[in-house]
Amino acid sequence: GNPFSAHPKIDPETGRLVTFSYQICLGGSLKSGGLQTRFTIYELDQQYRVQRRLEHEFPGYAFMHDFAITKNYYVMFHNPVDLEILPFMVGEKCPGECLVFDVDRPTRVHLIPRGPLPAGMPSEPVALEMENCFVFHHANAYEDENGCVVVDSVRLPELGELLSRSDSDLPFQHVDWSDLPVTSIWRQTISPWGALTKAVQTRQLSELFVEFPKVSPKVVGREYRYVYLAAGFNPRINSPLVSWLKLDMQTGEETIWSANNSTFVGEPEFVPRPGGIEEDDGWLMGFLYDGSQHTSEFVIVDARHMSDPPIARLRLKHHIPHGLHGMFVNEYYGPSPFI
């Protein structure tokens, strides 16, 4: 089968799980490198039965790790990245080494209708251009009172800097983090009815170096107030992620929780409090890795009071390798569970 996105969304109104798969196909134009990318978007009910299935093709190689949803749209960012197909196919390079960032090509935003739209809204997919950048992760998206689509995303100024300055043979401990580009959170306001180059307005929401945005599952695809992110130890340069940040989208207030100088945080997860009313009434939780002790722990923080000490710190018997998202392995590496 085809690979699926690592970031499915659950629509809080319908309860459906929304995700996409993709397939890189030969047959595109020479301008697009002879490739095209076919995306299949799925909406699944709570029994994982397909309720909606939609195919959409993009010219060339479309690198999309994440996407966003609103009440009426699927939102997909087409990064200006090409794939050197030959070294990848013959196994000379891994996929990441075959990516080529085009600094002269705009990033394209695609709004794909989720179904029949209200009168006056575009009934066909819309593709709009914005400034050149690279987006890994989206925090959330929604439609405002003017009918514009608002998307909050963590983005790099360009992927080319990261690819050119990252040496795959260099040990992790020797990476000069300050020489790498900084990811930060931006807001894109998209008018489906605007002129091609003027339909996307952007502004930076925070100068802090952040990644792995999360919101309450109650507000996915809806207007919201709080986003939670992992942040670096130096706010304005690239660095290992050592703290969790709560960003208030209304006031701009930034609240940071961190453990100590030798502890690195993983991707945060927000869990709403049962019966809670306020958007931030819940817990932020995730794994920490203590580099000085070579141990891991699971930490739970009150999302309303991020500056307070954690509610719980559960020290684990075995360290968890620090990585991107989660990882599945078919072999158990810990002590015997029967001892």
Q: Is the pLDDT at 193 greater than 80, yes or no?
A: no
Is 138 annotated in a binding site? The answer is no
Q: Is the pLDDT at 169 greater than 70, yes or no?
A: no
Is 78 annotated in a binding site? The answer is no
Nearest by Cα to 236 from 255, 210, 212, 214 = 210
Paired tokens of 114: 């989720």
| pLDDT tens by residue, 233-285 | 776 777 788 899 999 999 999 999 988 778 889 999 999 999 999 999 999 99
More confident residue, 101 or 268: 268
For the entire predicted model, the pTM comes to 0.87
Percent of the chain with pLDDT over 90: 50
Is 318 annotated in a binding site? The answer is no
| pLDDT tens by residue, 131-166 | 999 998 999 999 999 889 999 999 988 765 555 555
Nearest by Cα to 270 from 210, 230, 319, 221 = 230
Is 319 annotated in a binding site? The answer is no
What residues does 25 pair with on adjacent strands?
A: 36
Contact, 52 vs 114, CB < 8 A?
Answer: yes
- The pLDDT score that the predictor gives to residue 147 is 86
- The pLDDT score that the predictor gives to residue 254 is 94
Percent of the chain with pLDDT over 70: 84
- The pLDDT score that the predictor gives to residue 293 is 86
- The pLDDT score that the predictor gives to residue 25 is 79
Q: Cα(22)–Cα(183) distance, rounded to whole angstroms?
A: 25
